[in-house]
A and B are shown apart, each in its own frame.
Chain A
Amino acid sequence: MKRRSFSHLFAALVVSAVGVLAMPAHATEETADAFIKRLSTEVLNSIKADKSIQSGDVSKIVALVDTLVMPNVDFKRMTASAVGPKWRQATPEQQQRLQEEFKILLVRTYAGALSQVNSVTFNVKPMRSGPDDKEVVVRTEIQGRGDPIQLDYRLEKTPGVGSGWKVYNLNVLGVWLVDTYRSQFAQEINAKGIDGLIATLAERNKANAQKG
């Protein structure tokens, strides 16, 4: 029995390795955890290769996010989920502005952490999900100095689009990003409407930019 389970493991390893290597040809067959692993490695490598990103150059970071990260994120869904039921009442222009401002706010959130990536390694934890699951959670752990940092992703299957997976929520140390903004956004919308929320976000981003 032992030998059989070992050969299963070996087969799984071979299959996943082939999956990663054959990526461009069979993009949709990539598993969610392999996808996260590839994406994290790509992002980490391009940060390590660029000193100005490590020193916190926000325009460079935004460019990196736009080219590498955003194509793999369902940002419309993230923003819609943070805004809540009022999202449907927003015009397409308002939805566009909300996404744009929210993105800049989030990029700011993580820009500061990027200076420390040189000393980190990450590992993807084993995943518990069936092959037909449309939405999965991939758990990873970042090991730097000090205690490991929990970093989880929620992904949706997007057959035939991009890599076949898109991230729609992110969990840092047990805190889901989108959920943390939900009450704050609701507060703003209740007080000042959707345009009020857009204005508040834009104002905050401007203030952050001046702080440097």
Chain B
Amino acid sequence: MRPMVLGLPRYTPWAGLVLLLVALTGCATGPSASPRDPLEPFNRGVYQFNDAVDVAIIKPVATAYQDVLPAPVRRGVRNFFANLQDAWSGVNNALQFKVEPAANSFVRFGVNTFIGLGGILDVASEMRIERHTKDFGHTLGYWGVAPGPYLVLPLLGPSTLRDTVALPVDAQGNMVSGIEHIPTRNSVTLLRLVDTRASLLGASAMLESVALDKYTFTRDAYLQRRRSSIYDGNPPDDGEVEKSPVKQDFSQARERTRAWVQTLKKSGTADDEKAKP
């Protein structure tokens, strides 16, 4: 008999990991602890493990991939995966009620799938249709779910508790997991990993030379970047009152409407005065 946990057998490894991490939260504090990184000792361990695997296997494979395959082929691979992401971004933009970005994402997916040979050519970018990449962690963050502690995941790298919880949903959303033929699915997943790592070769070389401590640099840059993109590049400043992105959007919209109504009123009275003899 197959054990059923919460009726979601596919999610059990994730649920287990999350529970483990929540349990660890209580007991670990680092020497110069950052409040956003209470699990620092644990995270540093995973970071070192990832780094070792990267040096031994992933980076050499990605480097070979970059050296052997001609640039147009690699660009085709990158476009193909980006196109799948566009469809999922469309869903997440829609879940955040962002109408134009959602429409753009779906149009991009349609154009690239049907005109761009299944996503290998990025015709939509040539047509200047903007890309708005969003995943399910963004969506949770947009509706006010706090990121929680910083986490370094085995092989997957920097994340937060919220984004880790969102991962299984993202995995369902990207169409690769829908491939029934398992060897094909595994090869496609592997190709995606190698492609991602190859695209980061330049960035990781830069990290080597500019970071005093690669772990801290990666963490601080990742958390800032993630926060900024959840706020669509417009996060509140340190001094300001922290609002969730949806509340910020709402109050900005309200202010804009108020200003608009006021200009309408003003121009109305001005025109009235002019109309007087």
Contacts and interface: CB of A to CB of B under 8 A. Distances in A.
B202 interface: yes
Contacts of A108: 209-210
Interface string B213-250: 10011011100110111000101000000000000000
B34 to A, nearest CB: 6
Nearest to A125: B233
Interface residues of A, number: 32
Interface stretch (A20-28, A158-166, A176-184): A176-184
A11 interface: no
A184 B211 contact: yes
B27 interface: no
Contact of B217 (A146, A150, A176, A180): A180
A115 to B, nearest CB: 11
B12 interface: no
**Could you say which of B34, B131, B209, B213 has the most chain A C-beta atoms within 10 Å of its C-beta?**
B209
Nearest to A139: B233
Contacts of A121: none
A200 interface: yes
B225 A173 contact: yes
Contacts of A173: 225, 228
B215 to A, nearest CB: 9
What is the predominant secondary structure among interface residues of chain A facing chain B?
A: helix
A188 interface: yes
B216 A187 contact: yes
Contact of B131 (A139, A147, A183): A147
B216 A174 contact: no
A67 interface: no
A106 B206 CA distance: 11
Contacts of B267: 1, 4
Interface string B124-156: 010000010000000000000000000000000
Nearest to B222: A175
Nearest to B202: A112
B228 A186 contact: no
Nearest to B218: A180
A200 B125 CA distance: 43
A211 interface: yes
B89 to A, nearest CB: 12
Contacts of A139: 233
Nearest to B209: A208
Interface in A198-212: 200-201, 204, 207-208, 211
Given A1-B267, A147-B131, 20 more contacts: A4-B267, A105-B210, A109-B210, A112-B206, A173-B225, A174-B225, A174-B235, A176-B224, A180-B220, A181-B212, A183-B32, A183-B220, A184-B212, A184-B216, A184-B217, A187-B32, A187-B216, A201-B212, A204-B209, A208-B209
- Pick the 4 closest A-B CB pairs, nearest first: A174-B228, A184-B212, A1-B267, A109-B210
Interface of A: 1, 4, 105-106, 108-109, 112, 139, 146-147, 150, 173-176, 179-188, 190, 200-201, 204, 207-208, 211
